[in-house]
């Protein structure tokens, strides 16, 4: 059977690691949002106001993510035998929708409203540049925390960090990384718009900066909504996870063949497994249930398998699942069966 260490990367990204990442992001976004709002009001800069909307949206999103982190961590009970892990995807979805509505839509609307605004005389942008520089440092610190967590998971998952952020079932890590990455790009857009405004005296550049920030946030929000939607509707495990579970079944002393395998994420580090297995020998009917239960128990010893349900294949079903090579984007490593 496979060892719990094979899936440690999936548990590593949850729990305290994600909580620390989200808390750091919340603190950074709150400080940045206050500073951007004050300076945006003082300067009247459209791109700075857009950045303030962006930071307030991110701050609210971290609250949603913290709620999701807490609720997803509840243990299974009679009413939720597979646990509450999907609550994390629900609250991450709220955060993504909030980013789209508050961060993206409002920024684009404000930029359009500012296209015909008259040039304000005597406005100094020194404070705006200082706040953007401070924001870059704070957002960068939060971003680096999410990068460190992503790299740890990616190394254990044998994929690149960017691919891992797309594959990971942890909505908290993906949201913080995407929002901080967008924030750093948004700060660059706002700084460029402010500079163009100063050099040309044309407020059009500032308005365009606000619109570009809004479009950027919209793209990020749509990506996050799509990924959370996929997990809410039952995304299966990664190719490595599927291969590891299939390898564990095929290497079990009581399993002759596997005819069917379905895996489904039911939380950031929880998988539901359904499989059809043909047992070794011709066991009496009274012993079949006991043997199937024993195999289920073996699978559930892996900390991420929250529930395993095994059935017998139909007598006329000749299907025999075999281990398939992993996609090329996985790094070379030993076979799952070698790590049993």
Query: For residue range 174-233, what is the model confidence (pLDDT) as tens digits?
Result: 999 998 999 899 999 989 998 998 888 888 888 898 899 999 999 999 999 999 999 999
For residue range 267-305, list pLDDT tens digits in order. 988 999 999 999 988 878 778 889 999 999 999 999 889
Cβ distance 217 to 100 under 8 Å? yes
The SS3 assignment for 324 reads coil
Query: CA 87, 88, 93, 99 torsion: positive or negative?
Result: positive
DSSP code per residue over 273-284: EEEEEEESS---
Give the separation between CA 273 and CA 299, rounded to whole angstroms: 9
The SS3 assignment for 81 reads coil
How much is the average pLDDT of 51-62? 86
* Residue 130: other Cβ atoms inside 10 A: 12
Give the separation between CA 148 and CA 178, rounded to whole angstroms: 14
Reading the block at residue 200, the tokens are: 């040309």
Please state, for a pLDDT cut of 70, what percent of the chain lies above it.
90
Categorize the per-residue pLDDT at 88 as very low, low, confident or very high, splitting at 50, 70 and 90: very high
pLDDT at residue 7 tops 50: no
How much is the average pLDDT of 6-32? 68
pLDDT at residue 337 tops 80: no
* Closest C-alpha to 187, from 39, 18, 22: 39
Give the separation between CA 72 and CA 86, rounded to whole angstroms: 6
How much is the average pLDDT of 18-44? 86
pLDDT at residue 10 tops 80: no
* Residue 145: other Cβ atoms inside 10 A: 22
Query: CA 138, 141, 144, 148 torsion: positive or negative?
Result: negative
* Closest C-alpha to 62, from 162, 166, 177: 177
pTM: 0.84
Per mean pLDDT, which range of 12-26, 73-87, 107-121 is the poorest? 12-26
Q: What angle do CA 72, 76, 77 make, to 5 degrees?
A: 130
184's CB contacts (< 8 A; 6+ apart) are 136, 139, 140, 143
| pLDDT of amino acid 16 | 55
Q: How far from 22 is each of 132, 172, 323, CA to CA, in Å?
A: 21, 7, 37
How much is the average pLDDT of 11-40? 78
Q: Which domains does the chain have, with CATH numbers?
A: 4-232 (1.20.1510.10), 239-339 (3.30.70.1350)
């Amino acid at each position: 059977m496979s060892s719990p260490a094979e899936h440690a990367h999936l548990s590593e990204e949850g729990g305290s690691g994600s909580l620390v990442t989200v808390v750091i992001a919340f603190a950074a976004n709150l400080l940045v949002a206050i500073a951007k709002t004050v300076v945006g009001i003082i300067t009247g800069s459209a791109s700075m106001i857009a950045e303030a909307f962006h930071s307030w949206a991110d701050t609210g999103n971290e609250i949603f993510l913290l709620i999701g982190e807490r609720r997803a961590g509840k243990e299974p009970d009679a009413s939720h035998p597979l646990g509450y892990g999907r609550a994390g995807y629900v609250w991450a979805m709220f955060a993504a929708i909030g980013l789209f509505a508050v961060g993206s839509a409002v920024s684009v609307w404000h930029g359009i409203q500012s296209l015909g605004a008259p040039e304000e005389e005597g406005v100094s942008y020194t404070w705006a540049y200082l706040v953007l520089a401070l924001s870059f440092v704070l957002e960068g610190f939060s971003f680096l925390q999410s990068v460190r967590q992503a790299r740890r998971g990616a190394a254990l998952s044998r994929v690149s960090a960017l691919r891992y952020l797309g594959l990971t079932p942890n909505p908290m890590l993906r949201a913080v990384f995407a929002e901080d990455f967008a924030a750093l790009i948004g700060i660059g857009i706002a700084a460029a718009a402010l500079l163009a405004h100063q050099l040309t005296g044309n407020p059009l550049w500032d308005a365009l900066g606000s619109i570009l920030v809004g479009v950027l946030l919209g793209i990020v929000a749509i990506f996050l909504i799509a990924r959370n939607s996929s997990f809410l509707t039952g995304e299966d495990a990664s190719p490595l996870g599927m291969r590891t579970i299939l390898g564990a079944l095929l290497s079990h002393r009581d399993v002759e063949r596997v005819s069917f395998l379905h895996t489904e994420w039911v939380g950031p580090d929880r998988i539901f497994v359904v499989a059809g297995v043909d047992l070794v020998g011709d066991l009496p009917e009274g012993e079949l249930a006991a043997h199937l239960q024993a195999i289920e128990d073996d699978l559930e010893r892996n900390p991420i398998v929250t529930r395993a349900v095994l059935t017998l294949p139909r007598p006329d079903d000749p299907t025999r699942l075999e281990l398939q090579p992993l996609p090329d984007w996985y790094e070379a490593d030993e076979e799952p069966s070698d790590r049993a």
